[in-house]
């Protein structure tokens, strides 16, 4: 049986357009959501919301995307507009994740955002643990006030953290470039050595020994 660390070491997103049926059923989805909302959350603000878009919701959001795209691109052809209509409909399930920020709260806004980022990543991990796959995308709709408003949020305050597409993998995931640990992990032993970066993991630490 794969343990949790193996799962994390092998986790890969799937391209949204390759995600197929089935998506998680209601019972599994509830477990995935329960796991993904169990994130560090300074001040217990729960400063995030997840909206489930099944096919009817996806179609409504797709209609809005097509409308916004056509208005912003008067020269767009039918194929391009159809692509935008299809954008939120690429996978069995779409989760819209929004940060409901509390400006001026003693918990800084960036901490509230980070907690929401943890929710998105946990959604991917939980979905993969449950045998599904996903992709976390923002794309242009996440940055359009009309989309934020249509989802029922306040574009002046709230931030779309992303759209998490979920479904079943239809093709094996190829490995993706990862940074060398020594490039991103260093050991800090005191101010004079802060310039030193680079850390060598203990022998065998990366190959399961
Ligand atoms: C906040 C956020 C937004 C992203 N938005 C996009 C996007 O708009 N378009 C895109 O192609 N990839 C986007 N990505 C990257 C995808 O999630 C990509 O599938 C992922 O980085 C693949 O790596 P993985 O297999 O390690 O998950 C985004 C990632 C993050 C964290």
User: What tens digit of pLDDT does each residue of 26-78 get?
Assistant: 999 999 999 999 999 999 999 999 999 999 999 999 999 999 999 999 999 99
Q: In which band, very low, low, confident or very high, does the pLDDT at 194 lie, cut at 50, 70 and 90?
A: low
What pLDDT is recorded for position 130?
98
Tell me how far apart the alpha carbons of residues 52 and 135 are, in angstroms, rounded to a whole number.
Answer: 15
Residue 85: is its pLDDT beyond 90? yes
What number is the average pLDDT over the span 115-144?
98
Residue 193: is its pLDDT beyond 60? no
Domain residue limits, the chain: 4-173
Segments of 153-203 assigned E as strands = 159-167
Whether the full predicted model's pTM is greater than 0.85, yes or no, is: yes
What pLDDT is recorded for position 207?
54
| Number of the ligand 1 atom closest to the C-alpha atom of 15 | 19
| Number of the ligand 1 atom closest to the C-alpha atom of 178 | 26
If you measure from the C-alpha of residue 138 to the centroid of ligand 1, how many angstroms do you get, rounded to a whole number? 8
Fold of the CATH domain 4-173: NADH Oxidase (3.40.109)
If you measure from the C-alpha of residue 24 to the centroid of ligand 1, how many angstroms do you get, rounded to a whole number? 21
Tell me how far apart the alpha carbons of residues 33 and 105 are, in angstroms, rounded to a whole number.
Answer: 26
Residues ≥6 apart with Cβ < 8 Å to 180: none
- Mean pLDDT, rounded, of the chain: 94
Tell me how far apart the alpha carbons of residues 18 and 91 are, in angstroms, rounded to a whole number.
Answer: 8
Q: In which band, very low, low, confident or very high, does the pLDDT at 202 lie, cut at 50, 70 and 90?
A: confident
């Amino acid at each position: 049986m794969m343990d949790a660390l193996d799962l994390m070491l092998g986790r890969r997103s799937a391209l949204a357009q390759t995600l197929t049926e089935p998506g998680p059923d209601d019972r599994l989805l509830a477990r995935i959501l329960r796991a993904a909302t169990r994130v560090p959350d300074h001040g217990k603000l729960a400063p995030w919301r997840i909206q489930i878009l099944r096919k009817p919701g996806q179609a409504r959001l797709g209609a809005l995307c097509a409308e916004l795209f056509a208005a912003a691109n008067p020269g767009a052809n039918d194929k391009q507009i159809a692509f935008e209509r299809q954008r939120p409909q690429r996978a069995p399930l779409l989760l819209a994740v929004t940060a409901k920020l509390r400006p001026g709260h003693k918990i800084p806004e960036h901490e509230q955002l980070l907690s929401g980022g943890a929710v998105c990543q946990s959604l991917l991990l939980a979905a993969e643990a449950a045998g599904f796959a996903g992709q976390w995308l923002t794309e242009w709709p996440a940055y359009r006030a009309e989309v934020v408003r249509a989802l029922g949020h306040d574009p002046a305050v709230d931030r779309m953290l992303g759209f998490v597409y979920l479904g079943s993998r239809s093709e094996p995931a190829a490995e993706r470039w990862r940074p060398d640990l020594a490039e991103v992990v260093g050991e800090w032993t005191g101010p004079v050595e802060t310039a030193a970066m680079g850390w060598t993991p203990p022998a065998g630490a990366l190959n399961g020994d």
